Each structure stands twice: as C-alpha cells, then as structure tokens.
Chain A
Amino acid sequence: MDLRPLALAVMVSAACGGHEAASAARHEARVFAGGIAPPAGTGTALENPFRGDRQSAAEGERTFGAMNCDGCHGGGAVGWVGPSLRDGRWRYGGSDADIFQSIYYGQARGMPAYGGLLPAGTIWKVVTYLQLLEPPANVPTQSWK
C-alpha cells in the first residue's frame, strides 16, 4: 500500500488548520469550569497511568457525574449537545494524551477546561472510564427492514 498521497493530504489539512487558527483566534477561546483557568504546562503527560483499571474507571464515572459532564455528553456518555464519547470515534483525537488534554484544557465549541478544578490524577481516571466504555456494535451502515 502506498501511503504517500495520504501523508500529503494530512499536511495540507494541517496547513489549513493553522491558517484558520491564526486568522480567527477568538474562535479558539476556552470556557473554564468554575471560572478557573488550568495551570500552564502540567497537562503534558502522554500515557494514562490507570489505563484498564476498573477501580479507577469507577471513580472516573463518579467524577463524570459530579462534574456535570453528563449534562452535555449524556448519561453513559452517549451524546447530547456534546458528542458521544462511547462510539469509538474522537473529534479531537482518541489517544491517552488527546483525551486528557481535551478535558484539561477544554476545546472550542464549549467543552470547558477542567484543569483548573481537577488534579491530573482525577482527570486520568475520567479518561480511564471513557476508554473502558464498550462501543456499541455500530457499523457505518444503518438499515431497516
């Protein structure tokens, strides 16, 4: 399989993204949960220290409710105004670090930054909870009888 055209496409889209961010900076602003900005430079760990740990996932699930995540992402993270977090698909990337950073620093389009409220370990447990959710057996096709 020749991967060169794919790599080219990624480069082009990255260039477009950079241009857009520069020309419309306010559209990258974040909401801070509780009005508290996350401290800089701490959300950079790359691996989830609790990956696969059921106990941590249970704690993460409680945090998911207590921090009102379910108010936007729905009970069981099935999706509401915020996207589904249990479909195995990730708008901002699904690696350990991607999910952590989305929670810690927030995302434009209304995902609040929780890094000012929650210690990194608590966020990693939420990441653990989300990673252990069983994706539904959905396939790209939906059909009816």
Chain B
Amino acid sequence: MYVVTPYPNVLYAFDLTREGYPLKWKYRPPVDPNALGIACCDAINRGAFYADGKIVYNLLDGHTVAVAAATGRELWKTRIADLSQGETTPVAPLVVKHRVIVGASGGEFGIHGWLKGLNLETGRIVWTAYNVGPDSEVLAKAGTFKPFYDRGAELALTSWPADVWKNGGAPVWGWMSYDSSLDLIYYGTGNPAPYNPEQRAGDNKWTASVLARRPEDGTLVWAYQFTPHDSWDYDAASEMILADLAVNGRPRKVLVHFDKNGFAYTMDRATGEVLVAQQFVEVNWAKRVDVATGRPVVDSTKLTGASRGDIKDVCPSLEGGKSPASPAAYSPRTGLFYLATNNMCMDYQATRATRIAGTPFIGANTPYHAGRGGHLGAFIAWDAAAGKKVWQTTEPYPVWSGALVTAGDVVFYGTLDGWFKAADAKTGKVLWRFKVGSGVVANPITYTGADGKQYVAVYAGIGGDWFLLSGDVRSDDPADVRPPADFMPDIARHTSQGGIVWIFAL
C-alpha cells in the first residue's frame, strides 16, 4: 500500500503481506517550504498514481516525481510549476498510456492556469495547454475544437478584458478522468482571479469549466463553462464521473459532475451537451440552468462586485454544495451517485485586489453560515438520469470525505468530527460507525488483501479549509493560537489533527 503525505510529501510503501504492515521503503524528497505560504488552502496532497511500475505524484512546490514502486528509488523529477508566480501542485496526476497529466493550483494567486502532458518514461514536458488565453495557447484548433454551445474563435481571449486573462486563474486542482473509446481526458478548472468580478468583465472562459482534451498532444476537443463570469468562487474542479445511463429512455455515455455552484450536471461526454442540470443542495445565485443554451439563469441580486457592497446570504458558500476535495462514487448496481455535501451559505463582500507576484490575489471577504435546517452537511444519494436526490443523511458538520460504494451495496464515508461510517446504499441507513479520531477529508478505498480478504481503508487527518477555518483544532505551533470558527465553534471538541491510515477487514 502506497501512502503519500501532505507537505513534506513523504511517500510510504507498506508491506501488507507481513504482520504489523512494516514499511518496505519510504521516499523523502526535498520540498521547498516556501510552498507552504503559496498554497492557498493548506498543505494538502490529493494522491499518487501507479503506472508501469512507477508511483507518480506531485510535490507541493511545483515538481512531479516518478519513484520505482518496488524500491522507492527516484526515477525522474521534473519542475512543472513556478512558485514565484503563485503556482503550487497538490493535484493527483492522471497517467494515460505514456502521458502523465498534471496541473497547478493558484486561483487565489492570479496564475495563468494550465494542464501539462509529461513523458512517463523520462518526465519530459511534451505539451502545455493553457485554460485561458489565445487559441494557440489553449490548443483550440479550427476543425478539432467543437464546443456544443459556443461558436467562433478566440473564445478564451475575447471573454476577458485585454491582458486580464494573463493572471486570470483557472487552476487545475481537482480530478481528471479518461474515456479510452473516445480517447478524451476530462478535467475541471477553478475560479477566475480575482474574486472581485468587476476586475474581469466577460464570461472569463475557460474558468469554472470542464475541458475535454486528447491526452497525446493536449488538443482541445470541447469545453463547457458551468459558471460564466463566476462571481462566487465556484471552481469546477470536482471530478467528472463517466458512466452509461439511460436518460429520457435513451442510453447515453455521460459525464456526471457535482459543481461547487450547487448544480449536478449530467452531460453527453462525446459532445459536451448538458442533458440534466438540477440543484443537489440549496441554490439561490441562479434559478435554474437552461439546458438549451447551457447557461444558468442568474439571480441578479446575488451578483457580487466591489461596487455592490456586501451581498448577503448567497447559497451555496464558496466551499461548494460539494467540495471538489471530496469525490463522489457511482454504483452501477443501484444506478446512484453517492456524495458528501455542504449545507452552507455565505455573505460576499468584494474589494479591489492588486496582483503582486508571490502574494495572494483575492479581493473578497466571505463569512459562512449554515443553510436551511441548521446542519452544516449531509451525505446524499443522487439519481443523475432524473436529476433527483434519493436519500440524505444530515451531518452536524460540513462533509469533506470522498465516497466509496461496494458491490455489497454498502457505501462508506467519513465525517469532519472523526467518524467513519458504513451505510446501506439503497436506503442510507447507517449500518456501522467507528471513531477514527480526526476529521476525514480523504477518500476511502477497498481492496482484496494477499490473504484473500476484502479490506476497507481510510486516511484520517483533518486538513484543507476546515482545518484552517476552525483555527482552534490546530495544535502544532505554539506561536499560533486562533479562536474557533463562529459557524462551528465546537469542532475542536470532536476532532484533533491526525494523519493515520485505518484498515478494516470486512
């Protein structure tokens, strides 16, 4: 079992064939500690990828490394991102054949967001595709780039004021998927920079969007923007789950995406057409999504901007109806999607921001409060063909765990107050729970051990925004003492800092 830690990004290989699971090796790369101050939202790492006898992952300071899975020996290390421009790299790579696909965070630092394709054997950067800017840099070529809703050239340039796109954000910090029959990779882009939308008139393509590219050379095939001219920090970095569903009685190859903006999208993954778009949490920034035009019908009273003052009670909060940090799961047996959600709204006061390289580029103050019902989160089951919630279990705190669903119709997730739970995938009834001590913001996995038994494993260790916001949870720095979060003042009572992998036999 391979485990990669948050900064300083140690990689551990545990020998699961021996009693006590001793280490086989560990790999400790040098990582620039300055990355701690450039990473917007804690020093997290979203995981490693195994391919061709290698473990490939990103260090926070803008490097991708490949390590021999058998020995822990470093095979190559490539600098992919520039810390001095605000780029950090917590994202998990996706390996497709001989390409390693990587991106960078920095939507809060005004980066010029990109995706890169590396050679798996050598680590050499083969292509760079920007998410915003001229077609030549976005790799949108006439004849091969066919978005479903948009027409014309230079869309990612003309939807911005002159030069503003150069610091326009569109980071890549979530998850990527690959369809081998269509030979397309799918990934979502983050927010436009800065948060004050008045500094960037226009749709700001392709921020808060899904992009479909060829893995070999990065060519853009289609793109769709979930939140045009995003005014609420609604990154579209959440995973794109590929499934075959019957939509309106027709079998479709779909992509299902639960956006921070509160809508769940079921799309044709060959073309980028939106088939279903329904809210899966309380939403008030838009009334609905018009699937004919692909555009949200925005409530103009919820538009933000430095000249508009403090816009009260926008739902969902910028933590998302679902966080991209907590991937959903799909069961072909039940036909349902399972996901952690947040029941939170925010006030949004934008201010004018100045870009200074190496410093944040934000321009908004956005305090949170609980949504309707007072609970801060829920775990839900979703029918993506119909666009309907099937069941829901409310949780007192935001839920930031990934989901796992098994062929035994059991769904697993963790909570911020340190419970690991198993529920009936058909009804949501909680079957079992275990206190793992620290908040779960990772994704459970299941596997068959060398002894033939089925195991479920989960990493427990609160991190990310909730760790930073609930300042009194942290206890690792005697020179840093913070008050509790006003919207969940007692979370530190139920969770502490963690960092333990728990393994359960079924």
Contacts and interface: CB of A to CB of B under 8 A. Distances in A.
Interface of A: 26-27, 29-35, 65-72, 75, 78-84, 87, 89-91, 108-112, 117, 136, 138, 142, 144
A12 to B, nearest CB: 18
Given A68-B362, A78-B471, A83-B479, A29 B32 contact: yes
Given A35-B84, A83-B480, A142-B472, 13 more contacts: A68-B361, A70-B360, A71-B108, A72-B37, A78-B471, A80-B468, A81-B42, A87-B482, A91-B477, A108-B34, A110-B33, A110-B39, A112-B358
Given A33-B358, A81-B41, A91-B477, A27 B36 contact: no
Nearest to A136: B483
A110 B357 contact: no
A123 B405 CA distance: 54
Chain B CB within 10 A, most for which of A91, A110, A138, A142: A110
B365 A75 contact: yes
Nearest to A79: B482
Nearest to A112: B358
Contacts of A136: 483
| B interface, over-half SS | loop
B40 interface: yes
A40 B436 CA distance: 51
Contact of B359 (A26, A33, A91): A33
A84 B478 CA distance: 11
Chain A's interface: helix, strand, loop or mixed, by majority? loop
* Interface size range on B against A: 35 or more
B357 A33 contact: yes
B38 A84 contact: no
B152 interface: no
A63 to B, nearest CB: 11
B476 to A, nearest CB: 11
Interface stretch (B46-54, B239-247, B300-308, B348-356): B348-356
Contacts of A26: 30, 32
B137 interface: no
A83 B468 CA distance: 10
A137 to B, nearest CB: 10
6 contacts: A70-B360, A71-B108, A72-B359, A81-B468, A110-B33, A112-B358
Interface in B448-506: 468, 471-472, 477-483, 490, 492-493
Given A65-B351, A84-B480, A109 B359 contact: no
A86 B36 CA distance: 20
A83 B479 CA distance: 8
Contacts of A80: 468
Interface string B183-201: 0000000000000000000
Contact of A67 (B34, B359, B483): B359
Contact of B481 (A32, A66, A138): A138
Contacts of A78: 471, 482-483
Nearest to A87: B481
A135 to B, nearest CB: 9
Contact of B362 (A71, A89, A117): A71
Give me the 4 closest cross-chain CB pairs, A-B, nearest first: A110-B37, A71-B360, A83-B480, A91-B479
B48 to A, nearest CB: 23
B95 interface: no
Contacts of B477: 83, 91
Contacts of B479: 83, 89-91
Interface string B33-69: 1111111111000000000000000000000000000
Nearest to A68: B359
A42 B291 CA distance: 61
A144 to B, nearest CB: 5
A68 B354 contact: yes
Contacts of A82: 37
B85 to A, nearest CB: 9
Nearest to B492: A142
Contacts of A84: 471, 480-482
A89 B360 contact: no
Interface string B359-384: 11110010000000000000000000
A112 B356 CA distance: 10
Contacts of A33: 356-359
B34 A109 contact: yes
B32 A32 contact: no
A82 to B, nearest CB: 6
B255 interface: no
A26 B39 CA distance: 19
Nearest to A85: B480
B332 to A, nearest CB: 40
A89 B493 CA distance: 23
Interface string B4-42: 000000000000000000000000001011111111111
Given A67-B356, A68-B356, A112-B358, A89 B481 contact: yes
Q: Which has the most chain B C-beta neighbours within 10 Å: A33, A81, A84, A138?
A: A81
